[in-house]
Amino acid sequence: MFWVYAALAVSLVSFFVAAYFYNWVKKLPTANPKLDEVGALIREGAFTFLRREYRVLGLFSIIVMAVIFLFFPQPVWAGAGVGKNLLMVFAYLCGTVLSALAGYVGISIATIANLKAATAARESIQKSFMAGFRGGAVMGMAVIGTSLAGAALIYIISRDADVIMAFSFGASSLALFAKAGGGIFTKTADIAADLTGKVELGIPEDDPRNPAVIADNVGDNVGDVAGMGADLFDSNVAAMAATIVIALSLGEVPFLFCVTTLGLLASVVGVLCARLGKNGNPSRALNGGTYLTCGVFAALTFIACLASGFELRLWGAAMVGMLAGVIIGITSDFFTGDDKKPVAKVAEACQSGPAFTILSGFSYGLLSALPALVGIGLAALISYKLCAPLGAGYEMLGISCAAIGMLSIVGMIISSDAYGPIVDNARGVAEMADLGDEVLEITDELDAAGNTAKAITKGFSIGAAGLTVIALLGAFREVVQAAGVEITFDLMDPLVFFGMLVGAAIPAVFSAMLIMGVNRNSQLMVKEIHRQFKEIPGLKEGTGKPDYARCIDISTLGAIRELVPAGLTAIAATLLVGFIGGVQAIGGYLTGNIISGLLLALLMSNAGGLWDNAKKYIESGHFGGKGSDAHKAAVIGDTVGDPFKDTAGPSINTQITVVSLVSSLAAVLFLTYSIF
């Protein structure tokens, strides 16, 4: 139990680091009262949305808790008693509350750090970078510390696979809706603001005359910060849950907590050492912090394995996962970096019109999926083969360890990811508060690095989700075999093939529902912006005052209305396939869902990041610069990419995790009540 208690101790260290960074950022000055006014509007809008979203998700969670109590792990009328059902309800509740807390912590710091980073840009790019990064690090430390401490406490209390799965399902189900809802909110405002402001009126991106501009900045927080925090909290917990389920029978749970504990400790070292040199490149600084964290993690875990007597093959599997994560990140950087060839090529294509913008960006997005998918596949294959000689059950544990290895440095990954929306917001508030062109140039440079960082971290989290759900597939098989049924997934079995086809279609349907939600809400907001410019005297000239609250309300109501159906569709489809075809069909369903989901997630995340940076590449003075025909085409590409990279793409990996957990939790029901 040493490493389980060590996990609690290191989690406490991460909370102290988060508190230190929070106070450090909070003490930084703000430029002027106008900046404070803009910041207050953004903060109020973000928390208003979060409260309304969490009310809806609270009702959903109460319904799910009732279902868990009645049916999981066995129906209460089956005579096994209600003790374990109640424990699973408690574990589910802990997962949802901690996942919601991840989003709350993220918004709390992000809506402060954006103002501080904008103000610091008046002095230097180094100080602005530190304000943005340390703001992101608050979230990185708090989220991963919470997920590790939560998993350790649930393990101490129960040491039961079903209960641990319920904890993970709580985190995943809330993250699914939080990420989808936040993504719909942020892209509704972003698309409407870009199309009406940049394309129609030719005004700057964050011009205060645009009624959607505050909603756009609010969206950076509720989608890219709160939603992403819940998402990566979920990924980390799901990987730990799958590994615990597989490791319980093998007696290897201490190794899991060793790796995750030292991964968090390495992330603490990484965020404390992160700096931007005098002539430094922000992207290089972010990547350098990630590589330092990887090196510290590899060294610490190797020493710990030798000292604790763990199998070095398990350590090797974790290293394979970590290296695969780095490779996927480098791939995403190549396809989305503003200094790389694909971005320049798409920017060049913008000169020929928006159709060529879309065609070139979509093609690069498709290409970007291959190396990442090969990396995930090789990581799974190598870790499987590496651990197979240790005995039965260790091959799937090897894949789980690879997933844990990939997610081991997720504290640093979240810090870099949250940095992105913070500096994006800083750029917006700097323009609205008239902090000057020099500040805008600095925040633009930081924002471009943030876009690349977001693409890298999204690729990393999608890759981790890929390995995690393979491990969850192993956990599903473990649950079925624990019920006394031997199971194999033969592709020639029509039940398996039926499940695979349905599973492959669900990520596409899920993505379509989210993107259509963004489409519907953006059209409503565009109409509202047109109405305000038409009816408010002097708005275009800058003498009238826009009604920001109305646009925030459109985004909020639209996101709340659209976030539940897509998630429920994925869950309902899983249950339907299970009750029709049983565990064989579910095996195929999960396989199809994983393959299709990973492909779509990588395509959309990378294509979206590429279009965004192609727009910024043109705005920096290439191919005619701002206001040119190439710029207008790039803005249209960016609006297509917005729901790709910030709504559907990153939500898919959570959807895959949720259906995998539902499958494991309902496995006994599928064995008992399926039609075929």
Count how many domains the chain has: 1
pTM equals 0.90
Tell me what pLDDT residue 71 has.
86
CA gap 283, 337 in Å, rounded: 9
Number of H helices, E strands in the chain: 20, 0
Tell me what pLDDT residue 179 has.
84
Q: Is residue 182 a contact partner of residue 559, using CB atoms and an 8 Å limit?
A: yes
Nearest to 359 by CA among 622, 600, 596, 640: 640
Buried b (16+ CB within 10 A) or exposed e, 125-161: bbbbbbbbbbbbbbbbbbbbbbbbbbbbbbbeebebb
Q: Is residue 42 a contact partner of residue 222, using CB atoms and an 8 Å limit?
A: no
Tell me what pLDDT residue 81 has.
67
Tell me what pLDDT residue 336 has.
85
Tell me what pLDDT residue 234 has.
84
Token representation of residue 504: 């492959």
pLDDT, one tens digit per residue, over 59-93 is 999 999 999 998 887 788 776 668 888 999 999 99
Tell me what pLDDT residue 84 has.
86
- Within 13 A of 267's CA, how many CA atoms are on the CB side? 36
pLDDT, one tens digit per residue, over 227-266 is 777 777 888 898 899 899 899 889 999 999 999 999 999 9
Tell me what pLDDT residue 540 has.
84
Dihedral Cα 280, 284, 290, 296, nearest 10 deg: -60
- Mapped onto helix, strand or coil, the DSSP state of residue 676 is coil
Tell me what pLDDT residue 280 has.
75
CA gap 234, 247 in Å, rounded: 19
CA gap 303, 197 in Å, rounded: 56
Match 């200094």 to its residue by tokens.
339
Tell me what pLDDT residue 455 has.
63
Buried b (16+ CB within 10 A) or exposed e, 292-302: bbbebbbebbb
Burial of 261 (0-12, 13-18, 19+ CB in 10 A): buried
Domain boundaries, position 349: 2-673
- Mapped onto helix, strand or coil, the DSSP state of residue 109 is helix
Tell me what pLDDT residue 550 has.
92
Tell me what pLDDT residue 13 has.
96
Q: Identify the segments of the chain with pLDDT beneath 50.
A: none
